[in-house]
């Protein structure tokens, strides 16, 4: 069995190699990942991980379909298509993604306060959400079933992470994560629209 990539007591592996290994680990062994890989007060790696996922998904969607990560066309300003795309891409990656991540973490923390006396801090919640978006690189593929699966898988990883990091039972974690997960994965990553589109296509077919 492969040794865990990073122990918070010794510092997690940084750089492209560390990010790639973290991506694999959270997808295949999420409980172990969250139990060992989330460190108090060390949210930077999780935040950068999430920003990287959004960047890859946005770039993939742009390359394949000329759209943003949430499925709407990039706006064009003053007829400058290339400059407009670069500007919107930069705003999504550097401003929107971190802002949404922190707002979702704040909301999740408020929901945890009455029900998780042994909870971790906001930093741990930021890391949980940041790493939970790992499968959402696939929302860049213009195929609604793939997009719906990726967003749904992300919501599952998020729920598992909250349960592990904040010491709450899985049924309670499901209830407490419902609203933030809907905001991040259902709306932010377009999971709801993708699921509806896939369902209607299957029904018509």
* Global pTM exceeds 0.75: yes
Tell me the pLDDT of the chain (205 aa) as tens digits. Answer: 344 444 444 446 667 788 889 999 999 999 999 998 898 888 888 999 999 999 899 888 878 865 544 445 555 566 666 676 677 777 777 788 889 999 999 999 999 999 988 888 899 999 999 999 999 999 989 899 999 999 999 999 999 999 999 999 999 999 999 999 999 999 999 999 999 999 998 888 6
Angle at Cα 159 formed by Cα 158 and Cα 160, nearest 5°? 90
Q: Give the up-direction half-sphere exposure of residue 68: CA atoms within 13 A in the CB hemisphere.
A: 21
Beta carbons of 152 and 64 less than 8 angstroms apart: no
Structural domain boundaries of the chain? 15-204
């Amino acid at each position: 069995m492969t040794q865990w990539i990073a122990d918070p007591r010794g510092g997690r592996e940084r750089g492209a190699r560390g990010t790639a290994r973290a991506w694999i680990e959270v997808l295949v062994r999420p409980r172990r990942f969250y139990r060992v890989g989330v460190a108090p007060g060390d949210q930077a790696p999780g935040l950068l991980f999430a920003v990287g996922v959004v960047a890859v998904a946005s770039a993939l969607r742009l390359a394949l379909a000329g759209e943003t990560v949430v499925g709407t066309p990039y706006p064009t300003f003053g007829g400058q298509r290339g400059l407009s795309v670069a500007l919107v891409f930069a705003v999504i990656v550097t401003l929107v993604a971190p802002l949404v991540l922190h707002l979702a973490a704040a909301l999740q923390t408020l929901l945890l306060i009455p029900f998780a006396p042994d909870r971790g801090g906001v930093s741990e919640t930021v890391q949980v959400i940041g790493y939970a978006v790992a499968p959402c690189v696939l929302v860049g593929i213009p195929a609604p079933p793939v997009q719906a699966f990726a967003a749904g898988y992300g919501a599952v990883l998020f729920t598992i992470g909250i349960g592990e990091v904040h010491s709450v039972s899985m049924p309670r974690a499901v209830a407490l994560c419902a609203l933030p997960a809907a905001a991040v994965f259902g709306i932010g990553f377009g999971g709801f629209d993708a699921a509806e589109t896939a369902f209607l296509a299957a029904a018509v077919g």
